[in-house]
Amino acid sequence: MAEQLTIDHLGARGDGVALTPDGPVYVDRALPGEVVDVEISGNRGRLLSVAQASPQRRTQDCAWQADAAPAQCGGCVARHMAPDLYAGWKTGAVRAALQRAGVADALRPMVDARGLGRRRVTLHGRVSPGKPAAGFMAPRSHDLIAIDRCLELEPGLDRAPAVATALTRLLASFGKPLDIQLTATQAGLDVDIRGLGQKNLGKQADATRLRLVEMAEKLDLARLSLHGDVLVERRPPLIAMGKAQVVPAPGGFLQATAAGEQVLADLMLAAIGKVKRVADCFSGCGPFALRLARQAEVHAIELEAPALAALDRAFRAAQGLKRITTEKRDLFRRPLFPQEIDRFDALVLDPPRAGAEALAQQIAAAQIGKVAYVSCDPATFARDAAILTGGGFTLASVTPVDQFRYSAHTEVIGVFERPRASKAKR
């Protein structure tokens, strides 16, 4: 049965929150101040219609999220928000995380880093009922919404849905749900298929691999891999990182947009300034190390050996960079110790969503005076920021960087400074 609710504010995931005697009800695609007709199940409200619209409601421009669409794609959560409301929601989420952690925010305006769009996408491949399709999932559901294009992808990924569908069709007989990661590179599409491991292939392994290699030729892919195992590399899938050219490991981490990576790097370089030696923790394949090396020697630390190998190859082929050394190390289980940290003039880090709590504790106990911290999770960033400020750092600035446009995710870069402690005080 339909009920009418008034939306009070936006939730952390972008849904409208109505306050009712039975508790909050979360309504997808509803905005503050709106009166909406919903179908309630638990604390969720399915939007049926908008009885009184907000002036900050934006006309939908996506066929898979328009009100008339038979099924809603869960890839974006905020396409219906006007720009000012959208920016305030994202910035507010960062501010709230810092406030909860007791950290003075020093918050700067959000930087739009969409650029040409997302350069990497993971599409889900499914066969149901008997028809192969690829796309995104509906909100909070395992129901596939098949798409033939996505407005948030850069032009190099225009073919991504068609390629993912073709690969799903080829592998349909195995009956496995697939996750197909496609990356736009200078040489074309780099594709890594997950969900169909060696044990699933069985006696068909050799024949299936051959068919995939033939499909890579037909689809003109730069590289095709299966669970990170390269089946064929027809052209090196190069990604520009500063003055260097990197061939990332199959399925390896990349910043979501090229523009976002550049914005973060520029802010980092400005924060670090002129120093001699920098530690780049959670370095990945070198998006920051290869730029930092224009002005300082860099020691790159990363757990994933293929990422470090890609970084090292790119460094050796590049011109005009200062020395980059690499170290394979699990910084969660074995963080740098203060005496190691203090060999450097500055430290930068870009950890996974879990943050870098153990490393932050060691940094706080060290003498180093400059830290630049990139994070894709404001909550864990705020937790670690509290550790650093408790160790004498000042959070000089926090800049939200919006490279995950219309999603609930926000990248941030925080700059921490303090006078370098003397050994006598330690």
Alpha-carbon distance values, 322 to 262, 290, 294, 315 (Å): 19, 9, 6, 9
Q: Which of 62, 76, 285, 376 is catalytic?
A: 376
Could you confirm whether 62 is annotated as catalytic? no
264: nearest Cα among 87, 403, 382, 413: 413
DSSP string, 346-382: EEEE---TT--HHHHHHHHHS---EEEEEES-HHHHH
6: nearest Cα among 42, 50, 41, 59: 50
The reply, when asked if residue 282 is annotated as ligand binding, is yes
The reply, when asked if residue 315 is annotated as ligand binding, is no
Which tokens sit at 15? 């849904």
178: nearest Cα among 127, 215, 229: 127
Q: Which residues contact 256 (CB under 8 A, 6 or more apart)?
A: 118, 119, 120, 403, 404, 411
DSSP string, 132-148: EEEEEEPTTS--EEE-S
The reply, when asked if residue 416 is annotated as ligand binding, is no
Around 408, how many Cα atoms within 13 Å sit in the side-chain half-sphere?
15
The reply, when asked if residue 220 is annotated as ligand binding, is no
Cβ atoms of residues 420 and 346 within 8 Å: no
Which tokens sit at 31? 């905005």
Residue 292 carries which side chain, given as an amino acid letter? L
DSSP state of 129: S
- Kindly list the catalytic residues: 376
| Residues of each annotated binding site for S-adenosyl-L-methionine | 255, 282, 302, 350
